[in-house]
Structure 1
Amino acid sequence: MNRLQTLFASGKKDLLSIYYTAGYPSLGSTLDIAEALEKAGADFLEIGFPYSDPVADGPTIQHSLQTALDNGMDLHVLFGQLADLRKRVSIPIILMGYVNPVIQYGVAQFCKKAAEVGVDGLIIPDLPMYEYETLYKKDLADNNLSNIILVTPQTSDERIRKIDELSDCFIYLLSSASITGNSLKMSDGLDTYFKRIEDMRLKNPTIVGFGIADRTSYQKACQYNRGAIVGSAFVKFLGENEDYLNKIGEFIGRFK
């Protein structure tokens, strides 16, 4: 098992994952942030690689992605930085981004390089499930990388079953079909959605993302799921605090 699979196989609950953009706020901040997040208590991390047309992201993450590109971040630079990843960070790491840069880099080469630096999984939201299954599944499997697939409240039961069949770690449950950065709404509809997924008794656990910004929304997500992902709130924190490395522990304390 990779580190991600090992974490979920442990049965640990109330997992907290943090997303941030590689190369933001500064080009060289990627590993420093990862190390500080692990020390502060994050259970696993999602490191975003920038792309010029991030259609699923809201203004906060869009800004971080453009800033990272302006700073000179690309996949070649990122893999160079991650060469020292496992000397400094032991928790599971996921790379998250759009499919276009991966295809330009070369999917097989991307997977090989990700494995070499110690990455455990990938989240590519705009990679069609059919293309993954027919074209790229072997590339990930050969490099012991988990593919994390997204589910929204509008996803059919049939598709969710298929996603569960293709997954080997966890399923990324979006709190809504909206873009990143919107607050999680505490509503009967959200309870119904979470309960619907719970009642399906999937073989893979679920983690909730989009709108997790405080302890209340984090605990709401954990009530039905194994944990939650904080993205826009942390990226916003990085942009607002020059001394962010020394305040990351305080940020994690907002959630657990």
Structure 2
Amino acid sequence: MSNLTENRLSNIFKNNKKKISIYLTAGYPNLTDTVKLLKILESAGVDFVEIGIPFSDSVMDGPVILNSHKKALENGMTLDFLFSQLEVIRKNISVPVVLMGSMNPVYQYGFENFCKKCGDLGVDGLLLPDLPLLDFKKYYQDFYQQNNLAPIFMISPQTSPTRLAAIDEAGAGFLYAVSSSSTTGSSTKMEDNIGYFEKLGNLKLKNPVAVGFNINTKNDVRIVHQYADAAIIGSAFIKEIEYEIDESRIIKFINGLEN
């Protein structure tokens, strides 16, 4: 997507500073917490945020994030309610925002309408892991471009060089590199993935690389930052806010990840 207009997401990768991103589930732990968390994460210095759209049948997530989806849906979170929350974010929040979720609720909303709403609200990128690359290029690419949304795709250790090149060419913002073949929140050690990270670092990809899945500690972040542009923390953060949202505790958690 060479004609994507620069947005907040593309701008943050212009410098060489290693980035930290946080994943949160919309409507978790409480229905109205999404914007509150965005404000806290921005004040804590997080570089960009992924907001997960809760869905009952997510296949990539481990028990921690799956439980957060279940709780958010029980709280009453819907796409319409999430969009109503995000209407205010660009009045005082500048951190780049990526929406992440399954295609099912997007299809139900209407893909063109979904992209337009995201563009109107100041969302910077979309990560829809079950959107096939060929379908994106054939049916949906124009909707992304019209609304200045970065199409973000996932790659994994099993992604072939040919497919990786095609994904890199079609994508923008960053490539989401799954650290291993496990689900989110597993006990896989980051040290076991160094060979994969080195391989990615040697490919001279067009897009920055952000690594996610199973990043829990400062040492995990340090390893990722040696080889990639950003580290994405999901399950570990969801655990931090399971019972309450404490701003000082969240800031301490974020500071504890930095090297």
Same fold (TM over 0.5): yes
Where in structure 1 do 4 or more consecutive aligned residues deviate above 3 Å? Answer: none
What residue is the counterpart of 2:3 in the other structure? Answer: none
Higher helix share: 1
Please, which of 19, 24, 39 is the counterpart of residue 15 of structure 1? 19
The one-letter amino acid paired with 2:254 is: I
Please, which of 23, 38, 43 is the counterpart of residue 34 of structure 1? 38
- Following superposition, the deviation at residue 191 of structure 1 comes to 1.7
- Conserved? CA contact 1:18–1:231, under 8 Å: yes
Cα shift readout 1:125-155 (whole Å, capped 9, x = no counterpart): 1111111111111111110000110000011
Q: Normalised by the size of structure 1, how large is the TM-score?
A: 0.96
- Conserved? CA contact 2:190–2:215, under 8 Å: no
The alignment status of 1:218 with 2:208, answered yes or no, reads no
SS, match of residue 51 in structure 1: coil
- CA–CA distance in structure 2, aligned partners of residues 97 and 186 of structure 1: 24
- Conserved? CA contact 1:183–1:212, under 8 Å: no
What residue is the counterpart of 1:84 in the other structure? Answer: 88
The one-letter amino acid paired with 1:182 is: S
- Conserved? CA contact 1:57–1:180, under 8 Å: yes
- Following superposition, the deviation at residue 184 of structure 1 comes to 4.5
- Conserved? CA contact 2:179–2:190, under 8 Å: no
Most deviating of 65-74 and 195-204: 195-204
- CA–CA distance in structure 2, aligned partners of residues 253 and 74 of structure 1: 32
What residue is the counterpart of 1:202 in the other structure? Answer: 205
- Following superposition, the deviation at residue 243 of structure 1 comes to 4.3
Most deviating of 44-53 and 177-186: 177-186
Alignment of 1:1-256 (within 5 A): 1-8=6-13, 10-187=14-191, 189-240=192-243, 242-256=244-258
SS, match of residue 33 in structure 2: helix
- CA–CA distance in structure 1, aligned partners of residues 233 and 166 of structure 2: 26
Number of equivalenced pairs: 253
The one-letter amino acid paired with 2:101 is: G
Percent identity of the aligned residues? 45
Residue 64 to residue 221, structure 1, CA distance change in 2 (3 Å): same
Cα shift readout 1:194-213 (whole Å, capped 9, x = no counterpart): 11111111111101000110
- Following superposition, the deviation at residue 20 of structure 1 comes to 0.4
- Following superposition, the deviation at residue 235 of structure 1 comes to 0.6
The one-letter amino acid paired with 1:191 is: I
- Following superposition, the deviation at residue 89 of structure 1 comes to 1.1
- CA–CA distance in structure 2, aligned partners of residues 39 and 184 of structure 1: 30
For structure 2, list consecutive stretches of 5 or more residues without a partner in the other structure. 1-5
The one-letter amino acid paired with 1:47 is: I
- Conserved? CA contact 1:184–1:210, under 8 Å: no
For structure 1, list consecutive stretches of 5 or more residues without a partner in the other structure. none
- Following superposition, the deviation at residue 169 of structure 1 comes to 1.9
- Following superposition, the deviation at residue 244 of structure 1 comes to 2.5
Cα shift readout 1:3-25 (whole Å, capped 9, x = no counterpart): 101111x2232100000001000
- Following superposition, the deviation at residue 246 of structure 1 comes to 3.3
